[in-house]
Amino acid sequence: MTKTVGGIKAQTGLQDSLQMWYTELQNNHSGNIFRVDRVLESYDSKFQRIDVLQTVGLGKALALYGSLMVTEGDYNAYNEALAHTALFAHPNPAEVLIIGGGDCGCLTNVLKHPEVKTATMCELDKEVVEVCKRHFPKLTAGLKDPRAKVKFADGKKFLETTKNKYDVILLDLSDPIGPAAELFQKQFHQTVFERLKDDGILVAQSESPFYNQEIVKTLYSNLDSIFPLVRMYLCHMITYPSALWSFAFCSKKYHPLDDFDQKRYDKLARKMKNEYYNSDTHRASFGLPEYVKRLLPTI
């Protein structure tokens, strides 16, 4: 049964008691709400709580410690924007490192590039990869690629001890409040800088520029003091807070727009079968609203 309240149709009656909703509040005042059909898995790994939900409108969803990471409805936007922006700006992204990214969506997109010789993913929580293999096989498809190397380790310790240097490093992290908190600190970004080759590129997910303004300010100020070139770009993510998500493009040499390789993109475009990223979104994603620009010290 439905009734209209202020122009909005609301479910009433018996059905109300059967409805489940996933809610994620920001700053305790507003946020996201998604209707859930059923809970498919819910358990604690060694590091965090893991929930897989069947939502009504967005397919399956993965939440870690109560924060939505992935839904079938929009995971392409985040993963494609994270992976391809750096890879089309670097002329030869042969050695790529992903820190975090346990759902493997970023890894799978990185491996769409024939220039990639090795894509190493360093994920803290093996359970995240295992649960995604069970529920998000399209995301984890890249694991079958012989160029994929997976390490289950703390990303900070891994980077502090490895002797390898990378062309591109992608920080596909959860939020600064979860198990990835340390990986939002300046000290870690300095280590990332040192593990990049002389013309390397880092892209780090950098939270919502609407809800997480203090985090964004500190993060970009830190990155700006380490990298010669730092730019923010955005993507549209309906399931992340504010539906607007940001990434920090940090580079020792290449410019995200001047060095974007249109020819390489055109050659690969059809084969990539992307849902979100293309050469237009690449360029447009660096156009920032005024309120976002004001968060960035020198950009």
Tell me the catalytic residues. Answer: 172
Which residues between 237 and 256 bind ligand SPD (CB under 6 A)? 240
With CB under 6 A, what is the number of residues at the site for ligand SPD?
13
**Rounded Cα–Cα distance for residues 57 and 238 (Å):** 12
Question: What torsion, rounded to 10 degrees, do the Cα atoms 123, 127, 128, 129 define?
Answer: 70
Q: Closer to ligand SPD by CB, 95 or 123: give it.
A: 123
Residue 175 binds to ligand SPD (criterion: CB under 6 A): yes
SS3 call for 35: strand
Q: Closer to ligand SPD by CB, 36 or 183: give it.
A: 183
Q: Closest distance between ligand SPD and the C-beta of residue 6, in Å? A: 30
**Rounded Cα–Cα distance for residues 210 and 242 (Å):** 6
Beta-carbon count within 10 A of 115 CB: 15
Which residues between 278 and 297 bind ligand SPD (CB under 6 A)? none
Applying CB under 6 A, which part among 172-180, 182-190, 213-221, 274-282 lies near ligand SPD?
172-180
Residue 70 binds to ligand SPD (criterion: CB under 6 A): yes
First to last CA, the chain: 53
Task: Identify the bridge partners of residue 151 per DSSP, sorted by sequence position.
Answer: 122
Residue 67 binds to ligand SPD (criterion: CB under 6 A): yes
**Rounded Cα–Cα distance for residues 216 and 192 (Å):** 18
Q: Closest distance between ligand SPD and the C-beta of residue 244, in Å? A: 12
Q: Closer to ligand SPD by CB, 101 or 200: give it.
A: 101
Applying CB under 6 A, which part among 67-75, 89-97, 259-267, 287-295 lies near ligand SPD?
67-75
Question: Applying CB under 6 A, which of residues 50, 69, 86, 295 lies at the interface with ligand SPD?
Answer: 69
Longest dimension (CA), the chain: 64
SS (H, E, C) 42-91: EEECCCCEEEEEEECCCCEEEEECCEEEEECCCHHHHHHHHHHHHHCCCC
Residue 128 binds to ligand SPD (criterion: CB under 6 A): no
Give the interface with ligand SPD as residue ranges (CB under 6 A).
67-70, 101, 103, 105, 172-175, 205, 240
